[in-house]
Amino acid sequence: MQILDRGTIFDATSAPAEMRFCTSPSLTQLANGRLVAALRAGSSKDAADEDTPILVSDDSGASWRLAFAGFGDLPPGRGRIRGAALTPIGGDRLAACLTSVDRTDPALPLFDPQTEGILPTRTLLAASEDAGESWAVLGEAPLAPHTGNAITGAILILQDGRMALPYEAWKEYGDVSPARHHASLRISADGGATWPELGIVAHDPAGRILYWDQRLSVAPDTGELIAMFWTHDRQAGCDLDMHVAWGSVDAQQWSQPVTTGIAGQICAPLALGGGRVFAAYVHRHSPPSLRAILSDDFGRTWRAADELVFYEKPRGVESGMGGARDFADYWADMSIWTFGHPTPLLLPDGDIMVAYYAGDETAMGIHWVRIGLDLPAE
């Protein structure tokens, strides 16, 4: 692998105060070549003024234009959109899943340090008919009985044409009962009108191992799914190596997650066909960086010698990486980490573009890197 080019989707250093801290990019491309990116922006990494602007590029990422300023209060007077993930569905049409956070009391942080729950959330659906320029909110994807939900990526299109919405479930603010984390999917067979089927991607009934921030991809040839996880041992108070699991073409049957043997947090796989997988991941241990790695056997082994570092933190170490950590402190760490959330996109020529956030304690923007692959012939 080699880095071919770099660029910036959104420069937050000169942005208005309410857009100075950007995270959670979603990146896709339409059939006409337009790149469309959604991002979370706010006056801090946990701010009640957060929203999800959408930018577009018609010159392969050389320049970007704000196409949609954001959804504002949704529902009116109560919720703010914390996350948006994009899926092309033909022509100029796009679907988006959104996480709306209840910000009725703007002074409350997302995470309740007493109960360890999060503010109430709703998972909403939106659509654009004009290549991301305007958006219509279609309604809510009901995820009951799960609560404390957050989307973990774009809606997947399964081999049979059904849609799968990935999310993780935790518990809500003020809930004193033990949290039961699930990495989950809701599946729609009617184009997103209803989401009746539940798929559990990963869950530890004992509640010790947490499979956070699942990222999934569908193999373009076989239709099989691969999921990768930031994996945390709640009892030991520390991260484990990243884990991986494999799903059936209907997204209903999943293997037990197993370790990759690679130290890291959020990891986004991109299935390329022929068993090949590209994965971009957060290496928050020393030295703090973002990295890419390849597999030739659908994630069962990884070409460690060919690993590529495509971002390095300019200085310092990352908070919380020195050993066992109190669970509440992990949430505090998340509010100060200055890079992460890599999101890969396969381009028509076979290169991969990865969007990610990076910056410092004064501003965090959204950037991209273009990576050329050196893959074995089929």
Tens digits of residue pLDDT in 19-72: 999 999 999 999 999 999 999 999 999 999 999 999 999 999 999 999 999 999
pLDDT at residue 102, as a whole number: 96
Q: Are 28 and 38 in contact (CB under 8 A)?
A: no
> What is the spatial distance between Cα 137 and Cα 108, in angstroms, rounded to a whole number?
26
Nearest Cα to Cα of residue 113 among 334, 331, 335: 331
Q: Are 34 and 99 in contact (CB under 8 A)?
A: no
pLDDT digits (tens, 9 = 90+) for 192-222: 999 999 999 999 999 999 999 999 999 999 9
All structural domains of the chain with their residue ranges = 2-372
pLDDT at residue 74, as a whole number: 87
> What is the spatial distance between Cα 340 and Cα 313, in angstroms, rounded to a whole number?
10
Nearest Cα to Cα of residue 341 among 327, 360, 328, 354: 354
Q: Are 67 and 57 in contact (CB under 8 A)?
A: no
Q: What is the largest CA-CA distance in the chain?
A: 56
Which tokens is 164 given? 């799968």
> What is the spatial distance between Cα 191 and Cα 187, in angstroms, rounded to a whole number?
10
Alpha helices in the chain (DSSP H): 327-334
Nearest Cα to Cα of residue 153 among 207, 91, 103, 228: 228
Rg of the chain over all Cα atoms, to the nearest angstrom: 19
Q: Which residues of 186-211 are buried (b: 16+ CB within 10 A; e: fewer)?
A: bbbeeebeebeeebebbbbeeeebbb
For Cα atoms 216, 217, 221, give the angle at the middle one, nearest 5 degrees: 155
pLDDT at residue 75, as a whole number: 83
DSSP reduced 3-state for 246: strand
> What is the spatial distance between Cα 42 and Cα 295, in angstroms, rounded to a whole number?
36
- The CATH number, out of the four listed (3.40.1130.10, 2.120.10.10, 2.60.220.30, 2.130.10.10), of the domain defined by the range 2-372: 2.120.10.10
**34 residue type, one letter:** R
Please, how many CA atoms are within 13 Å of residue 192, restricted to the half-sphere of its CB?
Answer: 20
pLDDT at residue 324, as a whole number: 72
pLDDT at residue 329, as a whole number: 75
Calculated CA dihedral for residues 219, 87, 359, 239, nearest 10 degrees = -50
Compute CA 219 distance to the chain's CA centroid, rounded to the nearest angstrom: 18
> What is the spatial distance between Cα 287 and Cα 126, in angstroms, rounded to a whole number?
39
pLDDT at residue 315, as a whole number: 77
Enumerate residue ranges in the chain where pLDDT < 50: none
Q: What's the whole-model pTM score?
A: 0.95
Which tokens is 335 given? 């509010």
**113 residue type, one letter:** P
pLDDT at residue 323, as a whole number: 67
> What is the spatial distance between Cα 95 and Cα 86, in angstroms, rounded to a whole number?
6
Q: Are 278 and 373 in contact (CB under 8 A)?
A: yes
pLDDT at residue 316, as a whole number: 72
